[in-house]
Structure 1
Amino acid sequence: MLRIHFASEDIGRVRFAAAPVPAWEMLLSLHALRGRADHGVFGPWRDRTRRMLDPSAGLLLRLAPPRGYSPDFLTPAADHDIDSLVDTVQGTARGRLRADLGLLAAQGGPAGWMRPLADGDTTALRRVGNAMFRYYQRALSPVWDLIQTVVTAERAARVADLIDGGVEQMLSRLHPQIRWEPPVLSVAYPVRRELRLGGRGLLLVPSYFCWARPIALHDSGLDPVLVYPANRGLQRLVPASDTADSGSLAQLLGATRAAVLQEIGSAEGVTGRDLVRRLRISPASVSEHASVLRRAGFVASHRTANTVWHMPTPLGRTVLEGGAGGRAQRA
């Protein structure tokens, strides 16, 4: 159990990452690469990615074992683009490198390959940065739009909780494995830890590749971060051609279904109740049309409590902007 202790001033300093954080998606996707081959969500992405990676990914896989400790320096402050992340990692101080890699070495196995990196060798750091950039381009960039769609849907749901009931309601609904009992946020965790915020606030990072349980930085002296699963709708990272079948696309060409897609796309995300109110159709009809759109790969759905949020996928936005979208709009 991880117990995060809030001081009175920390409540007003809870904030969300503005977008998916490349460092965390990278670290946790490296963990996913070594997970079960038949994983229902990550399996297709994993199979495709492993065929595309080059040998430089081996260095990252050694730095980020799927169980136990992964070095904090791989997930610095929430840089939202890959270039900033690489620059930050390559500029890591020698003291941080030695501390983090010492913890990694303590988990066992030969550690000779770590020594140049632990000493702050610029060539070794450059090798890590280059490996991160190449990994991002091959493993994450092709699916980044869909990662962003899923994370944005989760963030929108939590903002709705914040508006409806304040920070405490939002914290109480973060995730089934997170429990808010003021002034402590208790998180299901593999080890027992106490984290005292002490007025620093807390950055919440919804992550596509975070799976099963939330994760935090090991060093409690760093700015507090809690990463938690965003993919409640179990959306898979597969190309549109893998998810959209001709039957689903044929079903799409109807006036009501096109209107549902247009409403979801125009607002960049709506609830099922919104669609019922705006289109004046029944909840059952909304559910049916959203299900077809989801199977066609045009919509991602996200459930929180009793509310379902619908967001357009990159394919859905493309359809609305032209091509098949023009036909749907004319229908």
Structure 2
Amino acid sequence: MRYSVLGPSGMRVSKVCLGTATFGVAPTAEDADGVVGSALELGVNFFDTANVYGSTPTFDRPGAPPASQRESAEEILGRALEGHRDAVVLATKCGERRFDPDAGLSRRYIVGQVEQSLRRLRTDRIDVYYAHFPDPDTPLEQTLAVYDDLIRQGKLRHVALSNYPAWQVTEALWIADDRRLVSTPVAAQVKYSLLDRSPETELSAACTRFGVSLVPYAPLHGGLLASLSVLERQTAGDARFGGPGFAPHEIAVARQVERLAREWGLALHQVSLAWLLSRPAVASVIVGAETAEEVRANASAADVDLTTEQLDALSALAADPPV
């Protein structure tokens, strides 16, 4: 496993981060220990979760226990990491309103959610705490101020932003500097892959300029850049969360990537992740592995070095990032 420094935090994080959005469904709570254990054995030290992951209806699948009967992803991850807490960088989030109309990034909500996440994760501190989505009802100054208070209390180590546009990331950095806050945002989490290059329009440049790390989620685009066999599954891509399936042009590009990977003696998922890890400001990619075998396969990508010619060939397949 290879490692990167996460923004200005000084923390070394594995280039592959284990995401837990579907913990409790795939893997089940019973199988999650094996998935987390495999990640630790392979040198993965970066784990990503959120206060709404796993136990909400969006993650329902045929044959899985209903949301009301599932533990949250935070509870499952906290139990799986017992005995390893000091060896890992643990990230979680709050602020997604799809499941809780009272959610947001106000002082009242953040303080309550941090306490609940600490309990569920069985820890006394959170290494990276993301604002999950922008909150138009709460001034960014208030959100950053409460984060600063929680850092001073020792409950948070660093703060970060998820799904924020470049201008708001820049504004957050300006506020933190102007008010001399303890910690400026160290990372920006965003959906980013060879098939979704929208962060390259502005966010990537802003993060590179200001030393903020990009941490992409969905780096394999719902599994399409892992294996074309995913097309046979009903839960492929955003369909896992009630969204659309894959577009024809996405499937066409994935087939071309697979062809190149085969020519180079590599797997589709390896070249897809290695390309993303080569992009400016990208420190680590979040993979939603559902089995120990998938963890091992994805972790192998961190050791793949693509040539400049190979990287250019992959970039040319989807040369125009959508606005």
TM-score (ref. length: structure 1): 0.28
Higher relative contact order (CA 8 A, sep 6+): 1
Q: Which has the higher helix share?
A: 1
Greater Rg by CA: 1
